[in-house]
Structure 1
Amino acid sequence: MTLADRLRARLADPVDALLTGDLNGAAPMPAGGWRAAAVLIAVTERDEPGVLLTQRTGDLRTHAGQVAFPGGSIDATDGGPVGAALREATEEIGLPVGAATVVATLDRYHTVTGFEVVPVLATVPPDLPLVPAPLEVDAIFEVPLRLLLDPANFAVGSRWHEGTERFYHELIFGERRIWGATAAMILNLARRLTWP
């Protein structure tokens, strides 16, 4: 059984306890509606699988320096979330076309910046010669899937945003801080995925 098959077999139906959005789950819909986006949760095919994440460059207009999944807006030519997530992963980390095996699209997440994000779960071969896009990505790194799927590894933090105290989940991995929407989508995966 492939890793993709194992992941599919262990994905539970949507559950009620999922995180739906920033600002304590109450991110307001923008006046023009949500902007469609997708991210790729790429799980490496190893005996102990890992998840590929990026550290964004420090001079980006939004989310500078943050840890994120490869991803971005869904373009009309993408054909939907899967096409967008794969295209963005090719652009941001040099994921070879055809290298990913899509497992499933997961639960939508709404950000305070106005995006409705669809996570796309996929498997990829290990040790691909990935190359960060210099204007967007400082580094590409891998976090053990087992570590990400253990809610005990996450803490809750808070900060003020436009007069409202915003609570978020975070995980520290070495010198990197995984928080916000990325951490929330990981926790949603942990609530859907049973893993040995």
Structure 2
Amino acid sequence: MLTAPQTLLRERLLKALSVPAGPSSDYELNSHVPDNGHLRPAGVLAAFDRQGRLILTKRASGLRHHPGQISLPGGKVESFDTDPTAAALREADEEIGLKPSQVEILGTLPPHRTVTNFAMTPVLGLIRGDFTPVPETGEVDEVFAVPFAHISDPANYRIERRQWRGDWRAYYVAPYGPYYIWGATARVLHALAVRLTA
């Protein structure tokens, strides 16, 4: 059963999902877009808890890709996954202990192209009942929640720049307390925030 905040949130998210939008990209704020060939499909889960807060992870510092970064639970679509939604649910179970049966799927946002050559599909969902995260050792250093009011307000996002592979790269950021939310995660959340205010 959904809480009152989740019921209101459900209506807002479903309305946002009905707003037309195209795919996004890590390169859209930059002039140079490399031709990297085939993009690998992936799914990430944007799940909201009983208080309407978004669940995010801080990736383990020892990981090869994106160590220490803030991310949505998820990963690449494996051969046994039926689609990006299945991959997102499977990875959320593995990474933070969120069982697929506890998630009500509302829909998906358009795929986002990452600099690591993935077509990442954000999956929106609501967590039924209480949820106590269990971070996967070696993969996740921390699991935390961000208020809906923070991620849903476009004013909380800004564009920053840094040098990457010999060139300047621009990207979205949406810092929250000690957490520096940026890159692909900030970009897809910004896209959601824009649709929520449309």
TM-score by length of 1: 0.89
Verify: 1:139 aligned to 2:142, yes or no.
yes
* Equivalent position of 1:42 in the other structure: 47
* Equivalent position of 1:191 in the other structure: 194
Give the secondary-structure state (helix, strand or coil) at the position aligned to 1:112: coil
Could you tell me which of 79, 82, 85 is aligned with 1:82?
Answer: 85
Count of residue pairs the alignment pairs up: 190
**In 1, distance between residues paired with 2:49 and 2:135?**
17
Between the aligned residues of both structures, percent identity stands at 39
* Equivalent position of 2:76 in the other structure: 73
* Equivalent position of 2:19 in the other structure: 13
Could you tell me which of 105, 110, 127 is aligned with 1:107?
Answer: 110
Verify: 1:172 aligned to 2:184, yes or no.
no
Deviation at 1:149, TM superposition (A): 1.0
Deviation at 1:159, TM superposition (A): 1.0
Q: Which amino acid aligns with 1:8?
A: L
The 1:156–1:62 alpha-carbon spacing in structure 2 relative to 1, beyond 3 Å, is: same
Could you tell me which of 57, 67, 82 is aligned with 1:54?
Answer: 57
Alignment RMSD (CA, Å): 2.0
Could you tell me which of 89, 94, 99 is aligned with 1:91?
Answer: 94
Q: Is the 8 A contact 2:85 2:123 kept in 1?
A: yes
Structure 2, unpaired ranges of 5+: none
Deviation at 1:96, TM superposition (A): 1.8
Q: Is the 8 A contact 1:4 1:101 kept in 2?
A: no
Runs of 4+ in 1 over 4 A off after TM superposition: none
Structure 1, unpaired ranges of 5+: none
**In 2, distance between residues paired with 1:62 and 1:36?**
16
